[in-house]
Structure 1
Amino acid sequence: MIKLNILNMDNFLQTVNACSDAVNLLYPDGRKENINKHYGLQNELLHQYRENKNLLCLSLDIPAPKDYMSIISYYTGDC
C-alpha cells in the first residue's frame, strides 16, 4: 500500500491507465476498487480533485511490481 498526494490528476490517470493490472483505490472502510481503465471512478476522483483545489490524497494497492514501479516513477517525477 502507498499513499500519494496527487497534484496532476491528468498525468496520474494516464499512468494508471497504462498499467497492465489492477490499481486498487483503498477506502477507509477497507473496500478496494480497481481504478485502472474504470472511467466512471476516475471521473469521480477528478471531481474530488477539483473540489479540493487540485490536490487529492489517495491510498493505493498495486499488486503488480511493474505497475507499482511505473506509478512510483511517475510520482517521483511529478513532485
Structure 2
Amino acid sequence: MIKLNILNMKNFLQTVNACCGAVNLLYPDGKKEDINKHYGIQNQLLQKYRENKNCLLLSLDIPTPKDYMSIVSYYAGDC
C-alpha cells in the first residue's frame, strides 16, 4: 500500500492508464476498486480533486511491481 498526495491529476491518471495490471484505490472501509482504465471512477476522482482545490490524498494498492515502480517514479518526479 502507498499513500500519495496527488497534485497533478491529469498526469497521474495517464500514468495509471499506462499500467498493465490493476491499480486499486483503497477506501477507509477496506473496499478496493481498480481505477486502471475505469474512466467513470477516474472522473469521480477528478471531481473530488477539483473540489479539494487541486489536491487529493489517495491510498493505493498496486500488486504488479513494474506498475508500482512506474507510479512511484511518476510521483517522485512530479513533487
TM value normalised by structure 2: 1.00
1:74 aligns with 74
Measured in 1, the distance between the counterparts of 2:21 and 2:4 equals 19
Deviation at 1:11, TM superposition (A): 0.1
Measured in 1, the distance between the counterparts of 2:19 and 2:38 equals 12
Q: Deviations 1:36-76 (Å, cap 9, x if unpaired)?
A: 00000000000000000000000000000000000000000
Please say if 1:31 is aligned against 2:5.
no
Measured in 1, the distance between the counterparts of 2:33 and 2:40 equals 12
TM value normalised by structure 1: 1.00
Aligned residues: 79
Q: Equivalent pairs: percent with the same residue?
A: 82
Measured in 2, the distance between the counterparts of 1:58 and 1:28 equals 10
Q: Structure 1: 5+ residue runs without aligned partners? A: none
RMSD: 0.1
Q: Structure 2: 5+ residue runs without aligned partners? A: none
Please say if 1:57 is aligned against 2:57.
yes
Give secondary structure in 2 for the equivalent of 1:53.
Answer: coil
